[in-house]
Structure 1
Amino acid sequence: MAGILDKINNKELINDEVIATDLLVSAKAAVRNYSVAITETASPEIHKIIKRQLNDAIDLNHKVATYMIENELYHAYDVKEQVDHDLKKAETALKMPTDSQ
């Protein structure tokens, strides 16, 4: 268990970019899931609740994406720059030690 906690507390591994990216991915998944769920309900009350949650998820996605764009963590308007950024992160991940090393 200490190994997991050491990884969580390692500021080189867990930083604003990692947290924001995880939050963005989760918000996008929530938007997709609520979009499907709203089409599956017949109850007007449930429909209203899911619609509100969908709108909240869309707002969260927008806020996180805007934060990431403003802080140059996400390059939504420059595909080449985003690909280069992602490749650099992938190279960093491949260089990380694993438990077996």
Structure 2
Amino acid sequence: MDKLFEILGSAREITDQVIVTDLLVTVKTAIINTAKAINETGNEQLRTDLKRKLHEHIDQHERVFSYMMEHGYYYPQGPTQQLRVLNETAETVLTLNRD
């Protein structure tokens, strides 16, 4: 039974890593798309609302980024470490898709 909990515990951590990595990509996309929308609108109220939303997305990115750094999921200063993490994440996603 202890072995089962050990496996489930490590699977949860890896799953958290996959989820938070996806969240970071989603937030980055939201920042880009919101910035584009700001540039495309002529409506001042909509532009104001989009600017507020852009700042919310930037704040969310900072929180997700900090979480990833604290948990060892993201290494922007260390390309070798980051490649290792990305490979592990990709392997996990492929394994989850097989199940």
Give me the TM-score of the superposition, normalised by structure 2.
0.77
Q: Which has the higher contact order (CA 8 A, sep 6+)?
A: 2
Partner-residue secondary structure (3-state), 1:68: helix
Deviation at 1:51, TM superposition (A): 0.2
Partner-residue secondary structure (3-state), 1:49: helix
**Equivalent in the alignment of 1:47:** 47
Unaligned 5+ residue runs, structure 1?
1-9
| Structure 1 CA distance for aligned equivalents of residues 97 and 32 of structure 2 | 34
What do the CA deviations read for 1:30-57 (whole angstroms, capped 9, x no partner)?
A: 0000010000011111110000001100
Aligned partners of 2:28 and 2:61 also within 8 Å: yes
Deviation at 1:92, TM superposition (A): 4.0
Structure 1 position 87 matched with structure 2 position 87: yes
Deviation at 1:96, TM superposition (A): 5.2
Structure 1 position 73 matched with structure 2 position 73: yes
| Structure 2 CA distance for aligned equivalents of residues 26 and 96 of structure 1 | 20
Structure 1 runs (4+) deviating above 3 angstroms are 91-97
Structure 1 position 18 matched with structure 2 position 18: yes
**Equivalent in the alignment of 1:4:** none
Partner-residue secondary structure (3-state), 1:66: helix
| Structure 2 CA distance for aligned equivalents of residues 47 and 26 of structure 1 | 21
Partner-residue secondary structure (3-state), 2:98: coil
User: Residue type of the partner of 1:33?
Assistant: N
CA RMSD of aligned residues (A): 2.2
Unaligned 5+ residue runs, structure 2?
1-7
